[in-house]
Chains A and B, each alone.
Chain A
Amino acid sequence: MSEKAERDKKAIATFYAELNRFGQNGEYERAIKTSNKILNLAPQEFLAFHYKVVCLIELGKFDEAIRLLNGNAQFDEQLVFERAYCLYRANKHEEALKTIEKIENLDLRSKELRAQILYRLEKYDDAATLYREIVKNTDDDYEDERHTNLSAVMVYLEDEDTKDRIE
C-alpha cells in the first residue's frame, strides 16, 4: 500500500469515529461535513453515503437528498426505502409509489411507507387493506398511531360510501 493510501485509511477510520459521535448526538450538520470528508477520500464508502442521506432526511432536506441519490446511481438499490421516503416528503407521491413498488417482498417499514403513500394518493381502499395487514402482523410501540392512521383512512372510505349512496 502506498504511503498516501495508508494515510487515507487512517484518516477515514478517524472520520468514522467522529461520524458515529455526531450521529449519536444528533449533530446532523456536522455529521454531513464528516461524511463529505470520507467521501472525498473514498467515493465508494457506502456507509458514509448512507449516513449522509439519513442526516439530510433528519434535517428535512428532502430535495437535496433526492439530488444526492440521483447523482450516485451505484448506491441506488441499497437505499430504495430512503429514496421513496424522500419523494413522499417532497410531495412526489406517484414517483414515491413507483419507487417503493420496486422492492420485492416489502419489509415492514416499506409497507408502512407504502400505506402512507397510498393515503396521500387517496387510494383509501388499498391503504385500508394494507394497514389491516400491518396491524395484524406487528407488535411495536406504534400500535396506537397506526390505529389512528387506519381511522383516518376509514373516514375517507365512509365518505366515499356516502357519496356512492347519494349518487
Chain B
Amino acid sequence: LPPAMEPIPAKPLFYDLALNFVELPDLTEKLEGGQPKQKGAGISGFVKGLWGWGKK
C-alpha cells in the first residue's frame, strides 16, 4: 500500500530581483553621438596637418 498522503507546507513565492539589475552596458561613447570630443581632435589634427604640410 502506498503511504498515506500528508499535507506539506507550500513553497513560498520568491522573486529573482537581481536579474533586473543585470543590464547591458551603455555604448554611447562608442557611437556617433558620443563623438563631439573627437571632432575637436579632428580640427586640431587638421591644424597640425597644416604645420606638417608647411614643413614638407
Contact = CB atoms under 8 A, between A and B. Distances in A.
Contact of A17 (B12, B16, B29, B32): B32
B1 to A, nearest CB: 29
Nearest to A46: B25
Given A20-B31, A146-B17, A51 B25 contact: yes
A7 to B, nearest CB: 17
Residue from the set A23, A57, A88, A113 with the largest chain B CB neighbour count within 10 Å: A113
Interface residues of B, number: 20
A70 interface: no
Interface in A138-167: 142, 145-146, 148-149, 151-152, 155, 159
A82 B22 CA distance: 7
Interface residues of A, number: 32
B25 A50 contact: yes
Given A149-B14, A149-B17, A85 B25 contact: no
Contacts of B32: 17
Given A17-B31, A20-B27, A57 B22 contact: yes
A47 B28 CA distance: 11
A154 B18 CA distance: 19
B6 interface: no
Interface string B31-53: 11000000000000000000000
Query: Which residue, B17, B20, B24, B30, has most C-beta atoms of chain A within 10 A?
Result: B24
Contacts of B22: 54, 57-58, 81-82, 85
Interface of B: 9, 12-25, 27, 29-32
